[in-house]
A and B are shown apart, each in its own frame.
Chain A
């Protein structure tokens, strides 16, 4: 794909600053998933956004069914992008599948990453002896059959589960991005994801990691975060968010939480308007967003 990979994967670099932040979205969404997070970083970061090749916003013709059978191919894409942008050091924020991609990328090129922020990451989704990944093989097969039988029904059933909280807007937004994906690609990627097992390689990670895990995530049991912390090779910390769902960064979810959560003085103007202000007041931000964003950088 050559140079066009950057275009194909809708790579965007926004903001200015010395520090570089890479935001990589999770399964079933695209880079729009970061839209509520983005404003907090553009002031003093160069933020790199891109879409995974499996995202609905990417031309499905690029999805090579032979190549993307393992996550390594996704890692290739990520590294290609970073190299093409001549990025030498960056903080990488990966959600869900992208967290896994980040882990693998950091094993291959540890020098590229100052830190990994892993949101809803899991080294393996299937249960095994002495390991609780959250899914039994038979359950997965059922999910796959459901997807094959009626994709629309599956999406409509899965989206609320993944979002966790009862926020119709968030469910709708996730359904939208899920529906944007070509169904066969969704199924294929799901199979790839459920096939992975990073347990034997976590120790090879040298980069410090921040593991962000929600209290109740339909895809990742809370215990997985601890597992990651114990097995990742580098210095790592776990941050449990006292919220539900696999998509803590979902824009509508953040909106909702902001609106329903504790309000701070001056919050009425809305997040979007804050961008232009010179001094960035973390105090007026929603606690949840502050949590997430803050965590990206908390342990130095």
Chain B
């Protein structure tokens, strides 16, 4: 039950209420059903100088430029907001969501708890809420409001994505004077909260990068505490989880892990007499030998000492002769009373019943061994528990139920590729509630008749799908499907070689992956390495709005409808997002000029081009044109599945030639590259590749040169040509700290492939491995290989050397170890590689790149995209059109930004005549409209500029430009 806005507003002081109002506007504009904390953040960031912005500035990492990090933050917030589902019915004031209201309540409580803080920092506001103890009367000040908002997991996540730590931001808000969180506490103003700042563990925030991973096992910590005591210092663990905790602790010591024990006794070694104890019934001699050994060790002992682990003391209960045990106990007692206090003992019992018996039989053991009872009631943090931390990363995302169901369903499958695909297909159909003809039904043609009947029954049961599905029914259905397909798979394809490729990622592996990813993020001085790939691509294309302003002396402003970009994404309805891409008009002072239209245009364009600024834009589009940009394309050709073989064959026999030609037409500026690619692909298919194809049918190509868009277009076309569909392309951007320019975001989001990477913070390699197990017939595009961080490079290099590009690292212990150790390498080492501006090519990376390039089947050179001639072409077209519309009396000045926008659109578009159509149908019409509206017949100069502030309502077909231009 969301709270009405008015109620929420009453809880807020003036400034905070204003922010809430802004947030409501944001939510309303995006047609969201509720106003959430995210909207608040968005509103706060929109203000040029807000508490949040300032705090961010002060707490931001010095590793990046502030502009970059803020840009990243805006992107992240934008992306997060885009995920919020759009409400169907427009609400005037989207009510305040429960979580936001809870945040407001928390801030009220906080404010009430810390009146002195409040007093200190809000003197000027002398609000009467100061002395009020009543909860409802507390008006939340902006600062407290922001603090609470920062507690919202979704907000911390978004901030974390942009490389901020909420905890640090909070510190910055609380300490407006402190510049660095590392400054000593004495130089700070007095602590604001009850605890001193040193008590607040900064790394301790749940959503900070490393907090989740470096959990010290609490049980082990407690054991360590007991060891430090002067008496009763030998822990006897009791409880269901005692043996678990015991093993965990002992294993840590055996591995020599540091940080488990308190500093004073760090480095304690372990002597196990577990075995001897359990055998002590039979061989007293063994016990003797062991004790002698312990005595010797004790004499030679250098470090803090050692701990004798006696294991499960239940062994004593099974002994027939009490004397044997008594002798062991007394001998052990003798050892434990050693002068240096260098010997400890640890053991466990799994239940209190056993303990009672132990004490009954050996009443003195507790005293003799100086035992400390430690009840263990929680399992040591094993993978089970750790796994529970993983969701925090994606906490509060709102994945559609279908999606999550789908992934769990597919992940758990253990089918051959072919069956898996069909199984997935059916699952998705069931989830969509579509009553399909089961593929299995067709499949069952191959089955014996009795099997067919059984199968049909299953599928019929599965297919009575109602529109509204109960989750449990769905679950059951998916399970049934899974069973069915694994049956089919076993019967039909049990010989399939690819079966082992679809290994279930066991929890342990995925945990490790998670861990690694975190580590790598730590090493990286920049934002999480997968930030670019995962989040940036999801950023909507934001065509810069275009404004047409007539140079007539009319000050009246005509508001015209904005444009909307919804269609652009060809995404599902649920993903519909409103674009803030408005077009508006400004009135500019009259301009008199005697230049003809054509000249004006080319002149201004020329001028623009000469400006370094525009060149920058070009570079932005071109994506680091100055430096060579390497991308690697790899075809994943499956050798195991017969199905793909047929399809390939079909494709080859059919219009393969034709397809390449079509591609060459579409990406007309890379004809040579396309030729090379087509040749290499067919060569490799015939087994003539330089490296990999000879073996497994995989083709490796490196795309060298600029023109990111061309590469992508070609890659997706290759996927279509070779595997029959664009969906067979997997794109990965390996650059870990790419400069985020709006143009990149335009380009990135243009590729719908990139939207697949929304699942969370997986490492690229894991994601890739996952995807490849699901879709083994794929073209993989690895962009910015030269910018890949060290870890990724190693893995890819390994893979390329491995010849077989079947990505075996998932679930392959050996492979994991291959790159785990590298994480431990000194920070400087990785830093040098990563601090790549233009010249990151330290020796290391150059060597690496060369090595990689040697191992591909072909290097394909890409030419830079010729923006100059495209500009000329566009201008000529516009010129010609304008002449038709307005003759020589009409002049059009195109703003530089707009021109860049148009160029980018032209570069990106797949539609052959899309730009021409746009010029004709959008630009010219608008100019006509503008001319009529100002009703001037004499010479007119119009200006096309971009406008931020209105919502773009429609996207031109096949073109990343607004479908309407606003006339002012």
Contact = CB atoms under 8 A, between A and B. Distances in A.
Same complex origin of A and B: yes
B90 interface: no
Nearest to A232: B352
A188 interface: yes
A192 B215 CA distance: 14
A65 B381 contact: no
The range of chain B's interface size is 35 or more
Contacts, number: 155
Interface in A117-151: 124, 144, 148-151
B706 interface: no
Contacts of B375: 104, 107-108, 198, 200-201, 204
Contacts of B350: 200
Contacts of A197: 239-241, 377-379
B412 to A, nearest CB: 13
Nearest to A203: B352
Contacts of A176: 105
A61 interface: yes
B97 A4 contact: no
A56 B218 contact: no
B373 A198 contact: no
Contacts of B215: 65-66, 69
Nearest to B204: A64
B396 A56 contact: no
Nearest to B105: A180
A61 B373 contact: no
A59 B191 CA distance: 15
B585 to A, nearest CB: 43
A124 B349 CA distance: 18
A201 B377 contact: yes
Interface stretch (B17-25, B195-203, B460-468): B195-203
Nearest to A153: B98
27 contacts: A7-B194, A61-B200, A64-B201, A65-B204, A65-B215, A70-B222, A72-B218, A107-B375, A108-B375, A124-B240, A148-B395, A150-B398, A156-B98, A180-B109, A182-B153, A183-B153, A183-B395, A183-B396, A184-B395, A196-B377, A197-B241, A197-B377, A200-B240, A200-B376, A200-B377, A201-B377, A204-B238
A156 B99 CA distance: 12
Nearest to A192: B378
Contact of A56 (B106, B222, B352, B391): B106
Interface string A167-206: 0000000001001101111011001100111111111100
A156 B98 CA distance: 10
B386 to A, nearest CB: 10
Counting from the closest, the 7 A-B pairs by CB-CB distance are A203-B352, A152-B98, A200-B239, A201-B375, A70-B378, A197-B240, A179-B102
Contact of A149 (B110, B388, B399): B399
Interface string B773-799: 000000000000000000000000000
B460 to A, nearest CB: 28
Contact of B385 (A100, A149, A195): A195
Nearest to B216: A66
B193 A69 contact: no
B355 interface: yes
Contacts of A180: 102, 105-106, 109
Nearest to A73: B218
A199 B378 contact: no
Interface in A84-107: 100, 104, 107
A149 B99 CA distance: 13
Interface of A: 1-2, 4, 7-8, 56-57, 59-62, 64-67, 69-73, 100, 104, 107-108, 124, 144, 148-152, 155-156, 176, 179-180, 182-185, 187-188, 191-192, 195-204, 233
A180 B682 CA distance: 64
A contacts with B: majority SS: helix
Contact of A202 (B152, B200, B352, B394): B352
A139 B208 CA distance: 29
Contacts of A202: 352
Contacts of B217: 69
Contacts of B222: 70, 72
Interface in B218-270: 218-219, 222, 238-242
Contact of A184 (B195, B200, B206): B206
B207 interface: yes
A155 to B, nearest CB: 8
B98 A198 contact: no
A142 to B, nearest CB: 9
B385 A191 contact: yes
B392 interface: yes
A196 to B, nearest CB: 5
Given A148-B394, A179-B105, A204-B355, 9 more contacts: A56-B106, A60-B106, A69-B217, A69-B385, A148-B391, A149-B404, A152-B99, A183-B99, A203-B356
A71 B377 contact: yes
B351 interface: yes
B218 A67 contact: yes
Contacts of B376: 200-201
B920 interface: no
Interface in B178-214: 193-195, 199-201, 204, 206-207, 211-212
A183 B156 CA distance: 12
A41 B31 CA distance: 54
Given A72-B222, A148-B395, A182-B106, A199 B193 contact: no
Contacts of B379: 195, 197
A60 B832 CA distance: 39
B243 to A, nearest CB: 10
Contacts of B201: 64
Contacts of A199: 239-240, 351
B170 to A, nearest CB: 8
B74 to A, nearest CB: 25
Nearest to B201: A64
Nearest to A152: B98
B99 A104 contact: no
A97 B946 CA distance: 60
A1 B199 contact: yes
A52 to B, nearest CB: 15
A72 B377 CA distance: 9
A149 B378 contact: no
Interface in B142-161: 151-153
B1 interface: yes
Contacts of B385: 69, 191, 195
Nearest to B384: A195
Given A65-B204, A71-B377, A59 B153 contact: no
B396 A4 contact: no
A107 B199 CA distance: 29
Contact of B204 (A66, A155, A183, A196): A66
Contacts of B398: 149-150
Given A59-B193, A184-B392, A195-B385, A156 B1 contact: yes
Contacts of B153: 182-184
Contacts of A201: 238-239, 352, 375-377
